[in-house]
Amino acid sequence: MSVLSLTRRQILAGAALSVAALSAGGAFAADGTLKIGLLAPLTGTGGPYGKEEEQGAKAAAELINAAGGVLGRKIEIVVADDESTPTAGVAAARKLIDVDQVAAITGVWSSAVALAVRPVALEKGTALLVNGSADEITQGDTKGLVWRFQTTGKAWGSAFARTVKKDGARTASLLVLQTPFTLSTVQPFIDQFKADGGEVLDVIYFNPNQPSYRTEVEKVFGRNPDAVFVASYIPEFSAIVKEVYRSGYASKLYTFSHAADSQGKFVQNVGKAAAEGVNHVQAVPVGNSEAYKLYLKGTGQPAGTIVPFGAAVFDQIIVLALAIEKAKSDKAVDFARQIASIANGPGPVVADPAEALKLIRAGQPFRYSGATADFKFTATGDQTDLDYGHFRVLDGTSKLVGTTK
């Protein structure tokens, strides 16, 4: 055997070992940082929410890094734009996994994008932490890798029905944008509202980016229901509210907090007069928790600002970092098993990630209470034990007027 052939075999063997090690899932970069992917809607339909996700992720990473990082290494947030579409989302996810070699993918605002990216994440053995609410995201065999940091569409629909009924409505109609998430809220709303003695008059569906919503508005509001639940996002909801205001309809309006108060964009879009009295619902304690105060401080936003998606990503990065520290591994097969224990565990409630890291390193128990909600996880990766805040826009500012509990 020649020296040349032996050297070649050694080189090939070394290369194979390197590939095997890479395939095993290590996410520490050459400079020692731990890369975490953020798949955010920086453009497209979710554009109003993408920047807040990025700000939330980086604020959380700064807190973790200031507390010594994860396993002694700094966190690096690698941001990718999913363009709010499944095709672009899948391409961006593959780059995050195959090229950037991230430990996990976070963000994922759109349910349609989450459903498209999920098979890729499961195939690659990558943890996926999402904001999408479509029930299907966590259904089936997720290998323990998929975790939702938002309420499900089913739970949200029921929460809206309870809020509307508690607010005194006897009749209600629904005006629904056709997306996987918004559609998932319809039947739960109907079932809960009827069970509470209410009557649903109409359910009207519409498409995104319509030039006008006058026809749909006239159909729904023309029958004068006590309440109208508009399952939509900021662009469509803003257009609908303008049409309702111009027409002088009196039915009370209800929507998601991310549609009616994403950093004040809704009021900016429609004006204080049109926004007055609009109701929105979001899992709490948004705006009323120590973790949320840390989030607002880290992103430079004033107290009282309601930013659910940015706060959810803030929670995702913190829970992920704590799970990796607790597992003593950056491999998803190891740290994904610890995610539930971060929010479900016994011990004192902790909102500050620096304090949580100290407790992990000391082997002490705790339970993380998040910025978006004081949640716990089910075995399927969904959040449970949620209370929902009922907010109302008054004089251009959202005020908490009640909860579902």
Write the CATH number for 264.
3.40.50.2300
Based on the domain organization, do 166 and 271 belong to the same domain?
yes
Q: What is the pLDDT of residue 328?
A: 97
Based on the domain organization, do 184 and 278 belong to the same domain?
yes
Based on the domain organization, do 203 and 242 belong to the same domain?
yes
Based on the domain organization, do 278 and 314 belong to the same domain?
no
Task: Judge residue 202's burial from the number of C-beta atoms within 10 Å of its C-beta, 0-12 exposed, 13-18 middle, 19 or more buried.
Answer: middle
Based on the domain organization, do 146 and 157 belong to the same domain?
no
Based on the domain organization, do 318 and 336 belong to the same domain?
yes
- pLDDT of residue 99 exceeding 80, the answer is yes
Q: What is the pLDDT of residue 8?
A: 39
Based on the domain organization, do 259 and 395 belong to the same domain?
yes
Torsion sign, CA atoms 332, 337, 338, 344: positive
Tokens of 362: 């000391």
> Tens of pLDDT along 318-375?
999 999 999 999 999 999 999 999 999 998 999 999 999 999 999 999 999 999 888 8
What confidence category does residue 30 fall into, taking pLDDT thresholds of 50, 70 and 90? low
CA distances for 84 relative to 27, 41, 111, 115, 181, angstroms: 26, 5, 10, 12, 13
Domain of residue 301 covers: 34-151+290-384
Based on the domain organization, do 62 and 116 belong to the same domain?
yes
Q: What percent of the chain stands above pLDDT 70?
A: 91
Q: What is the pLDDT of residue 264?
A: 78
Count the domains in the chain. Answer: 2
Residue 220 lies in a domain: yes
Q: What is the mean pLDDT of the chain?
A: 90
Q: What is the mean pLDDT of residues 31-40?
A: 93
- pLDDT of residue 400 exceeding 80, the answer is yes
Residue 269 contacts by C-beta under 8 Å, 6 or more apart in sequence?
A: 234, 238
Closest by Cα among 180, 69, 127 to 316:
127
Based on the domain organization, do 197 and 316 belong to the same domain?
no
Based on the domain organization, do 241 and 345 belong to the same domain?
no
Phi and psi based region of residue 167 (left: phi greater than 0; alpha: psi -120 to 50; beta: remaining)? alpha
> Tens of pLDDT along 196-249?
999 999 999 999 889 999 999 999 999 999 999 999 989 999 999 999 999 999
Based on the domain organization, do 164 and 277 belong to the same domain?
yes
> Tens of pLDDT along 121-174?
999 999 999 998 888 999 999 999 999 998 888 888 999 999 999 999 999 999
Q: What is the mean pLDDT of residues 293-306?
A: 90
Residue 365 lies in a domain: yes
Residue 10 lies in a domain: no
Task: Provide the b/e sequence for 141-170 (b: ≥16 CB within 10 Å).
Answer: ebebbbbbbbbbbbbbbbbbbbbbbebebe
How far is it, in rounded angstroms, from Cα 337 to Cα 341? Answer: 8
Q: What is the pLDDT of residue 28?
A: 56
Residue 14 lies in a domain: no
- pLDDT of residue 16 exceeding 90, the answer is no
Q: What is the mean pLDDT of residues 34-49?
A: 93
- pLDDT of residue 305 exceeding 90, the answer is no
Q: What is the pLDDT of residue 36?
A: 98
Based on the domain organization, do 140 and 68 belong to the same domain?
yes
User: Quick one: how far is CA 313 from the chain centroid?
Assistant: 6
Q: Which H or E element spans position 199? A: strand 199-206
